[in-house]
């Protein structure tokens, strides 16, 4: 019941994108244990490039493997690639990558922004055979506080069968310190891939909590700890400003070993280009 209410509310918000998308979103969400070629790597990378952006370039990511409440607005175009390597013996076939491209519509500070992301999965074994479209509606409330609602993989093709609805809030605080320049907190609730390990293993779909805490060092390096629903991710995100601003984010995924597939290493590289 909770998941149905959550999904219904998010679908109502996303109705602005058209009746056809809403119709596709209304399909039942499948929650079998996911085949994680690139789950954390792909989503972490897209959040990096679509996050808060200053005039001099993108900010480092404030989360690793979960959505933040910030997103692309009108005139923002972002993209990148990601890869992850499973560290548990016997899982080399799951090592794979993702590529993503997104753009923004609307103004989050005046009304709402819509972040539209297209992702291609399975870049190694059967390149470009799987992909999806994801949507996120976000609003800048005041100061560094933003809220968002979205559905990942609302339209899919190939063998990709993960679909997740969520709501999330992110608070960013600027710090008057030479070393620690910023701190942030993100908290959300979602179903699908955000389920607990118990729910995923039992093939049930229940809303679960996710979140992240991060600190920014020297204005361009972010260190974060992220709970993605089943386990803890520890990530570093670095912005390289020249010659083209790039955000590099290595992440140690599922460090506590609570996920059935064990821990893995993910690396995402992204950039964003303002056209407004």
Query: What does DSSP assign to residue 74?
Result: B
Contact 81, 101 (CB under 8 A): no
Quote the tokens at residue 217.
């060092």
- pLDDT (tens digit, 0 to 9) for every residue of the chain, 276 residues total? 545 544 555 544 444 333 333 333 333 333 344 444 445 555 555 565 555 555 556 778 899 889 999 988 898 888 888 888 888 776 555 677 888 898 999 999 999 999 999 988 878 777 778 888 999 999 999 888 999 999 998 998 887 667 889 999 999 998 888 889 899 999 999 998 888 888 877 878 888 999 999 999 977 899 999 999 989 999 999 988 878 888 899 999 889 988 777 888 888 888 887 776
Please count the CA atoms within 13 angstroms of the CA of 232 that sit on its side-chain side.
7
pTM of the model: 0.83
Name residues whose C-beta falls within 8 Å of residue 184's C-beta, 6 or more positions apart in sequence: 62, 144, 170, 171, 172, 173, 212, 213, 214, 215, 216
CA 97 remoteness from chain centre:
15
Q: Residue 48: what pLDDT?
A: 58
Is 261 in contact with 254 (CB distance < 8 Å)?
A: yes
Q: 59: which DSSP letter?
A: P
What residue spans define the domains of the chain? Answer: 2-17+34-274
Q: 2-17+34-274 sits in which CATH class?
A: mainly beta
The DSSP H or E segment spanning 20 is helix 19-25
Element spanning 148, H or E: strand 145-157
Residue 196: CB partners within 8 Å, gap ≥ 6? 206, 208, 229, 230
């Amino acid at each position: 019941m909770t998941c149905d209410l959550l999904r219904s509310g998010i679908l109502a918000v996303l109705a602005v994108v058209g009746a056809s998308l809403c119709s596709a979103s209304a399909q039942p969400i499948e929650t079998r244990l996911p085949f994680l070629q690139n789950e954390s790597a792909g989503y972490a990378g897209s959040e990096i490039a679509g996050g808060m952006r200053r005039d001099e370039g993108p900010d480092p990511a404030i989360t690793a493997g979960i959505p933040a409440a910030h997103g692309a607005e009108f005139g923002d175009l972002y993209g990148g690639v990601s890869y992850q390597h499973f560290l548990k013996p016997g899982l080399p076939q799951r090592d794979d990558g993702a590529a993503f491209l997104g753009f923004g519509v609307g103004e989050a500070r005046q009304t709402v922004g819509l972040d539209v992301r297209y992702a291609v999965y399975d870049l190694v074994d059967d390149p470009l055979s799987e992909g999806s479209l994801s949507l996120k509606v976000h609003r800048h409330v005041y100061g560094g506080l933003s809220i968002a609602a979205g559905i990942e993989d609302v339209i899919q093709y190939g063998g990709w069968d993960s679909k997740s609805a969520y709501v999330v809030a992110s608070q960013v605080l600027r710090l008057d310190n030479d070393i620690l320049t910023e701190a942030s907190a993100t908290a959300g609730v979602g179903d699908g891939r955000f389920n607990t390990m118990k729910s995923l293993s039992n093939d049930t779909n229940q809303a679960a909590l996710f979140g992240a805490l991060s600190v920014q060092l020297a204005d361009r390096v972010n260190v974060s700890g992220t709970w993605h629903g089943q386990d803890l991710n520890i990530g570093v995100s670095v912005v390289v400003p020249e010659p083209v601003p790039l955000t590099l984010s290595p992440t140690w995924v599922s460090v506590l070993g609570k996920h059935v597939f064990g821990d893995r290493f993910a690396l995402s590289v992204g950039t964003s280009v303002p056209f407004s």
